């Protein structure tokens, strides 16, 4: 068990007034050693707070009394979300993308967790195969929700086979415990062609209605297959299979609507692209509760581009991307750009240069019809194939610097190149390259339709990599 280490201190906060500094280890709070940032947040909420602090270069820790008013935030961010050991995943799912990564990437990319705390804090999906009674007691007592659970199948044998873990046959009993206790839970079904699609998917959606009708939402998403997969059984969907998934989900939305009063299940945007179907209208996404899971993201982008003044998507914001005091920005919540840089922003003078929007294969299919209707006739789309991962990987968020550099190397100068910020994590692409490694200057734009429309409608933008 490690102690939380301070990584930043908010100016004029109680922590700053007490003299806490970056690098301090906080050994205990009011005599308690926090297990994770959830404990940390609850303990530091106390009005009367004493912290045992160990500072580098000092032989002994010292007790620091914190002067804070009721409800005042403590004012620090710490180095990790979990201070005891992260609960890693002991499943061996054939469709797991971590198993499909090549060697030599950043070590953090290979961490495969199955920890309910990271589900609560960051929206990670957990299978509950490492869940315990103590975990359930804590969640129910502290009301830790929403949580995000990988279902995949409600048939015990099929689920155990999908997870390659016998615990998969029984671990969904904890889902019932959480739902019966009133915890908000969002589910996910990763559909593998020939394995849990077709009749098996129908059975799963029926099983959810029978066993887990209190689920907040269920996302139905396709598996991603990279060229590094060694699973012969795993393959991409055909057009007909994708269309069948869309039809199945649509049919079950009607059933859920009649029996539960809500749609409950939603198909990923990728399915509509694969099937060549139009995206449903905005009301069909019910405030976009699984927006960040790639469900309704395309519709929100299209509407934001076509109607920039309209409100953005709703979605789950508590837990899923919500700020938790002291929690480091990791996973989905990690900033796209490196510290000290910002996304491109409007300037005062118009920029007469032609524009090229650089994106992945799926993004290009969404953008081309929108740009054809845009008043400017000097806007192009550069579709970048994901040769790094290969397979059926086509989302912009998985583009690497290597593939972008190759695509931009032969691109003409004198053009503004716009790149969605979803490609970056703390200023780096998945392969470790940065914006400075690209052969052309690019302007990083937030990956939403409104921001792209603003970038195209005449305002000049400063490159995110400019000093």
Q: How far is CA 167 from CA 173, 174, 175, 388, 455, in A?
A: 11, 12, 13, 34, 50
Q: What percent of the chain has pLDDT over 90?
A: 78
Q: Is the pLDDT of residue 254 over 90?
A: yes
Its CATH architecture, for the domain 6-78, is Roll (2.30)
User: How far is 137 from 15, CA to CA, in rounded Å?
Assistant: 31
The string of DSSP letters for 165-218 reads SGGGGTTTHHHHHHHHTT--EEEEEEE-TTTTSHHHHHHHHHHHHHH-TT-SEE
What is the location of CATH 3.80.30.10 in the chain?
Answer: 97-329
Over residues 111-119, mean pLDDT: 91
The pLDDT assigned to 314 comes to 61
Over residues 433-451, mean pLDDT: 93
| CATH number of the structural domain 97-329 | 3.80.30.10
The pLDDT assigned to 63 comes to 96
The pLDDT assigned to 419 comes to 96
Banded pLDDT at 319 (limits 50, 70, 90): low
Banded pLDDT at 458 (limits 50, 70, 90): low
The pLDDT assigned to 15 comes to 95
pLDDT tens sequence across 321-358: 455 677 777 766 677 887 666 665 444 355 778 999 99
Banded pLDDT at 197 (limits 50, 70, 90): very high
Banded pLDDT at 244 (limits 50, 70, 90): very high
**Whether this model's pTM surpasses 0.85:** yes
- Helix, strand or coil, per DSSP, at residue 398: helix
The pLDDT assigned to 344 comes to 57
Token digits of residue 167: 């615990």
The pLDDT assigned to 326 comes to 73
Over residues 118-134, mean pLDDT: 94
What is the location of CATH 2.30.42.10 in the chain?
Answer: 6-78
Q: What angle do CA 210, 211, 214 make, to 5 degrees?
A: 100
Other beta carbons within 10 angstroms of residue 414's beta carbon come to: 6
Banded pLDDT at 119 (limits 50, 70, 90): very high
The pLDDT assigned to 348 comes to 37
Token digits of residue 203: 């059975």
Over residues 63-73, mean pLDDT: 92
The pLDDT assigned to 125 comes to 94
């Amino acid at each position: 068990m490690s102690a939380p280490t301070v990584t930043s201190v908010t100016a004029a906060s109680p922590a700053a007034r007490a003299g806490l500094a970056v690098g301090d280890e906080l050994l205990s709070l009011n005599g308690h050693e926090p297990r994770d940032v959830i404990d940390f947040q609850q303990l530091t909420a106390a009005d009367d707070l004493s912290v045992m602090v160990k500072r580098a270069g000092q032989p002994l820790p010292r007790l620091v009394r914190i002067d804070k008013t009721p409800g005042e935030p403590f004012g620090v961010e710490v180095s990790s979300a979990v201070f005891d050991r992260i609960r890693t995943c002991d499943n061996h799912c054939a469709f797991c993308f971590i198993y499909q990564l090549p060697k030599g990437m950043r070590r953090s990319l290979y961490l495969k967790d199955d920890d309910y705390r990271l589900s609560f804090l960051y929206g990670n999906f957990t299978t509950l195969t490492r869940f315990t009674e103590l975990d359930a007691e804590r969640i129910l007592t502290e009301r830790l929700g929403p949580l995000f659970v990988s279902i995949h199948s409600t048939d015990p044998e099929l689920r155990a086979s999908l997870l390659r873990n016998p615990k998969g046959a029984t671990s969904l009993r904890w889902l019932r415990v959480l739902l019966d206790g009133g915890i908000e839970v969002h589910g996910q079904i990763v559909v593998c062609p020939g394995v849990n699609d077709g009749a098996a998917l129908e059975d799963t959606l029926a099983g959810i209605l029978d066993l887990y009708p209190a689920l907040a939402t269920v996302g139905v998403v396709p598996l991603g297959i990279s060229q590094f997969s060694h699973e012969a059984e795993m393959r991409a969907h055909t057009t007909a299979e994708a269309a069948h998934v869309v039809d199945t989900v649509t049919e079950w939305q009607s059933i859920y609507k009649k029996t539960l009063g809500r749609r409950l299940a939603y198909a990923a945007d990728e399915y509509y692209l694969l099937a060549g179907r139009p995206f449903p209208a905005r009301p069909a996404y019910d405030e976009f509760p699984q927006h960040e899971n790639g469900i309704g993201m395309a519709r929100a982008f299209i509407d934001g581009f076509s109607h920039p003044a309209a409100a953005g998507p709703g979605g789950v914001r508590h837990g899923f991307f919500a700020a938790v005091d002291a929690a480091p920005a990791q996973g989905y919540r990690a900033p796209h750009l490196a510290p000290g840089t910002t996304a491109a922003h409007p300037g005062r003078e118009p920029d007469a240069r032609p524009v090229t929007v650089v994106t992945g294969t799926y993004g290009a299919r969404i953008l081309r019809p929108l740009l054809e209707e845009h008043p400017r006739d000097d806007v192009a789309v550069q579709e970048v194939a994901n040769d790094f991962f290969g397979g059926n990987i086509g989302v912009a968020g998985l583009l690497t610097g290597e593939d972008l550099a190759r695509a931009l190397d032969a691109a003409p100068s004198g053009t503004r190149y716009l790149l969605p910020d979803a490609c970056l994590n703390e200023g780096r692409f998945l392969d470790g390259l940065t914006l400075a490694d690209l052969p052309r200057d690019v302007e990083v734009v937030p990956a939403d339709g409104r921001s792209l429309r603003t970038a195209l409608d005449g305002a000049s933008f400063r490159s995110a990599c400019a000093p």
